[in-house]
Amino acid sequence: MIKDRLEKMRLLMKREKIDLYYIPTGDFHQSEYVGEYFKERNYMSGFTGSAGSMVVTKEEACLFTDGRYHIQAEGELQGSGIHLFKCGEANVPTEEQYAEVYMRTHEKIGFDGRTVSTAFVERFLENTGLSEHAVVYDKDLVNDLWANRPEISQEEIYVLEPWQTGETTKEKLKRIRESMKKSGTETHILTSLDDIAWIYNLRGNDVKNNPVFLAYSVITQENAYLYLMEQAVTKEVEKYLQTSGVEWRNYEKVYQDIPALCGKNTILLDKESTNYTLFKTIPDQCRIVNQINPSTIMKAVKNKTEIENTKKAHIKDGLAVTRFIHYIKENADKEITEFEAAQYIDNLRKNTEGCFDLSFETISAYGANGAMMHYSAREEGCAKIQSKGFLLVDSGGQYREGTTDVTRTIALGELSREMKKHYTLVLCGMLRLMNARFLYGCTGRNLDILARGPLWEQGIDYRCGTGHGVGHILNVHEGPNVIRWLNRTGARECVLEEGMVTTDEPGVYLENQYGIRIENELLCVKDIKNQWGQFMKFECLTFVPIELDAVDVAYMEKKDVELLNQYQNLVYEKLSPYMTEEEKKWLKEYTKEIKF
C-alpha cells in the first residue's frame, strides 16, 4: 500500500518536474503535533510517530526521525522499502543534509510551502547555493493522491476565564505592541498556534491533547486580526473578541490579506515558525525583522495567577499518579495489560475535578517497550504486566488550572542489579538538576550535564534532550526554554527566566531490555542576589513519590541521598492531606527515608 502511494507520488513528481519531494510532519503553523488532516508524512510512510520527515526521490524514499522513535520506526517501516535514517547517531545525515547533497546534482525540490518554515527554506537555499527558482512550493502533491483525506478540523473555540489567565488580551496586546515599538516594527505576523491561543486567551480542540485552534494573526499598533475557521467561532467567542478589540476573519483569507496589511511596513515575524508560502505573500518592499515572537517569551514566563493555578493542578495530578502507583504495585500479578494500565491512570485523571483532557497520550510501557521513548500501547496485542521488572508511565493532564507532565518508572517485583544501578543514576541526575543553583544567564546547555553526568560517567546516554518547556492550559511541549546539551540547527538558546516551567527527565533506554525515565516539572525562581549576581534555582512542581525499590544507594553520593529524602518528605507532606488513612499509611512507607 505504501509502495503504491510512493509510485503515485513519483508520477506526480515527474509531471511537475520535481526531483526531490519533501514531506515534513507539519501543519501550516509549524506545530509539533498536528491534526489528522495534516498527517501527510504518516499517510505516505506508515510511520505514526509525532516527529520525523520524509524525502522522496526517483531512486529512494527516506524517513528521518530522532532517537525517541528509532525502534518504533524500524517496526512500522518494515516491508515499505523506505530507508530509515536514525538521526542523532554518528554519521547519519539530517533530512536537510541529505537533500543538500542530493540537490547538488539535481534541479527542482518540491514541498507544500505551507508546511515548512521560512527559516528552513532560507537555510536550505543558502547551504546549497540553489536559487529560489529551484523550489516548487505551491503544490501539495500528497493531497493529489490522498483519497479520503480527513476534513480539516474546525472544533469550537472557547474563552478562558480571568482567574485562569491572570492577564487580559488587551494587556497582552499592549505588551506586544510595546515590544514591536522597541524593535521598530509596524506589523506583526503570527502563525504559531500556542502563541495565538495565549495572546487571545482562547482555547480550542483542533489538535489532540493540545487545546489550540487553527489560526493566524496579524497585529498592528491599531488593530489585531485573528484568522479563524468559521465553524469554530461561537457567539461567545465573537462577542469576546469584539470587546477585546480584535477583528476576526476567515482562516484561509490571510494569504490574500497579507499584502494589504503589510503595505510598505517593517514586519516583525519569526522565520522559524512562519510558513514559507505565507512569507512569500509579503510585499518585497517590506523590511523584515526576524525575531522570536515576543509572545513566545511572554508565554513561557508564567505569571503569578498561572503559577498558583499550576501548583494546584500538580497536587491533583500527583494524587492521581500516586494512586496509580499504589494500585499497580499491589496488582502487578493480575495480568493487567499496558493498555489497561493506561486506561486506569487516564480514568483517575478524568475523574479528577477540573481535568478536561490528557495533555498527551499516556505512555504505559512494560519491560522492553519502555526502551521506546514515545511508545503507545494498542488495545490489541500490547504487553501484559508481570510482577517483575519496570513499568514506565509518562502521562499528564489538561486541567482548568494548568497542564502537567510527569513520568515514573515503577518496580513491579524483582530487578537485576543493573536495573537498580541504571534507575539510581537516572534518579541522581534528575535530583541534581532539580536542586541546581546557577547564575542568571544560564541556558539549558549549561545545565544539561547535571542530569546527564551520572549516566555519562558510566558510559550511558539518552538520545534526547533532558527537558522541555510546558504550556499553561496549553501544549505540553512549549518553547523556547529547553534543557539539552547539543545545539539544534535553528534553535535559539534561551536564558532560563524566573517563571519558566521546564521538565527534568533523564532516562536510560536499552533496546529489547527496558526503559527508565523519571520526570519532574521545575519552576525557575530567583535565589539569592549578591556581589556575583542574581542566582537562580528551581522549585519542583511535581509531587509523586520515587520508587525506592529500584534505588541502590551504592551509586549515590551523600548529597543525593539527602535530596531524595527531602523530596520524598515533601511528597508526603503535599499529598497526604488529601488521602485516606490506608493511602497515607502506604505512602508513608513508600516515601520512607533511606540511609547513605
Q: How far apart are the C-alpha atoms of 493 and 54, rounded to whole Å?
A: 27
The residue assigned the cell 530507508 is 83
What the block records as the C-alpha cell of 223 is: 488593530
Comparing CB distances to its own copies, the nearer of 555 and 572 is 555
How far is 94 from 115, CA to CA, in rounded Å? Answer: 18
CB 533 → its own copies: shortest distance, Å?
6
Q: Of the listed pieces 212-220, 355-363, 459-467, 577-585, which binds its own copies according to CB under 8 A?
A: 459-467
CB of 532 to its own copies, least distance (A): 4
CB of 444 to its own copies, least distance (A): 10
Cis check for the bond before 259: say yes or no (omega within 30 of 0): no
Q: Alpha-carbon distance 576 to 262, whole Å?
A: 57
CA proximity to 369, closest of 377, 361, 359: 377
Q: Which of 127, 130, 93, 134 is nearest to 111 (CA)?
A: 134
CB under 8 Å to 543, separation ≥6 — which residues? 314, 315, 318, 570, 571, 574, 575
Instruction: Tell me the three-class secondary structure of 259-288, residue by residue.
Output: HHHHCCCEEEECCCCCEHHHHHCCCCCCEE
- Contact flag: residue 441 with its own copies (CB under 8 A): yes
How many alpha carbons fall within 13 Å on the CB side of residue 56?
26
Q: How far is the CB of 559 from its own copies (least distance, A)?
A: 6
Q: Identify which of residues 315 and 442 has a Cβ nearer to its own copies in the complex.
A: 442
Of 104, 181, 437, 588, the one binding its own copies (CB under 8 A) is 437
Give the nearest distance from C-beta 441 to its own copies in angstroms: 6
Q: How far is the CB of 456 from its own copies (least distance, A)?
A: 5
- Strands (DSSP E) contained in 343-436 are 355-358, 363-366, 390-395, 397-399, 402-403, 406-411
Residue with the three cell numbers 494546584: 312
Name which position in 74, 326, 438, 513 contacts its own copies (CB under 8 A): 438
Least spacing, CB of residue 530 vs its own copies, in Å: 6
Residue 327 in contact with its own copies, rule: CB under 8 A: no
Measured in whole angstroms, the distance separating CA 79 from the mean position of its chain's CA atoms is 30
Q: Which is nearer to its own copies, 168 or 487 (CB)?
A: 487
Q: Can you tell me the distance from the alpha carbon of 466 to that of 449, in angstroms, rounded to the nearest whole number?
A: 9
Q: Which residue from 247, 304, 379, 456 is in contact with its own copies, where contact means CB under 8 A?
A: 456
Tell which one of 167, 186, 448, 519 touches its own copies (CB under 8 A): 448
Question: What is the distance, to the nearest Å, from the Cα of residue 571 to the centroid of all Cα atoms in its chain?
Answer: 26
Window contacting its own copies (CB under 8 A); options: 189-197, 213-221, 393-401, 431-439 = 431-439
Instruction: Check binding of 460 to its own copies (CB under 8 A).
Output: yes
Quote the least distance from Cβ 452 to its own copies, whole Å.
Answer: 9
Give the x/- contact pattern for its own copies in 88-117, rule: CB under 8 A: -xx---------------------------
Nearest to 262 by CA among 283, 234, 289: 283
Site for its own copies (CB under 8 A): which residue of 410, 447, 518, 550? 447
Which stretch, 119-127, 259-267, 398-406, 443-451, contacts its own copies (CB under 8 A)?
Answer: 443-451
Which positions from 463 through 482 interact with its own copies, judged by CB under 8 A? Answer: 463
Q: With respect to its own copies, which residue has the nearer C-beta, 205 or 435?
A: 435
Question: What's the min distance (Å) between Cβ of 139 and its own copies?
Answer: 33
Residue with cell 544560564: 442
Give the residue with the Cβ less far from its own copies, 173 or 433: 433
Nearest-angstrom CA–CA distance, 15 and 99 = 20
- Minimum gap (Å) between residue 511 Cβ and its own copies: 8
Tell me if the bond preceding 480 is cis, omega within 30° of 0: yes
Residue 56: strand, helix, or coil: strand
Out of 93, 166, 354, 453, the only residue in the binding site for its own copies (CB under 8 A) is 453
Task: Select 39 or 432, whichever has its Cβ closest to its own copies.
Answer: 432
DSSP 8-state class, residue 243: H
Where does this chain touch its own copies (CB under 8 A) — which range of 338-346, 383-391, 450-458, 518-526? Answer: 450-458
Q: How far is the CB of 517 from its own copies (least distance, A)?
A: 16
Site size toward its own copies, by CB under 8 A: 35
CB atoms within 10 A of CB 541: 24
Site for its own copies in 357-386 (CB under 8 A): none
- The residue range among 213-221, 249-257, 328-336, 444-452 that interacts with its own copies, by the rule CB under 8 A, is 444-452
Cβ of residue 566: shortest distance to its own copies, in angstroms?
15
Instruction: Based on the shown chain and the rule CB under 8 A, indicate whether residue 289 belongs to the binding site for its own copies.
Output: no
DSSP strands (E only) in 125-168: 135-136, 158-159
Q: Judge contact between 348 and 495, C-beta under 8 A.
A: no
Q: Which of residues 484-543 bind its own copies (CB under 8 A)?
A: 485-487, 493, 527-528, 530, 532-535
Task: Indicate which single residue of 17, 181, 559, 585 sits in contact with its own copies (rule: CB under 8 A).
Answer: 559
Task: Dig out the grid coordinates for 375 from the structure.
Answer: 511508545
Q: Say what angle helices 581-590 and 558-575 make with each other, to 10 degrees.
A: 170
Give Cα 285 distance to the centre of its chain.
36
Contacting residue, 292, 301, 442, 491, with its own copies by CB under 8 A: 442
Closest approach of its own copies to the CB of residue 487, in Å: 8
Lateral strand order in the sheet of 20-23: 83-86, 61-65, 53-57, 20-23, 109-110, 135-136
In this structure, what C-alpha cell is assigned to residue 364? 504505559
Could you say which DSSP state residue 465 is in?
Answer: -
| Interacting residue ranges for its own copies, rule: CB under 8 A | 89-90, 436-439, 441-442, 445-450, 453, 456-457, 459-461, 463, 485-487, 493, 527-528, 530, 532-535, 557-559
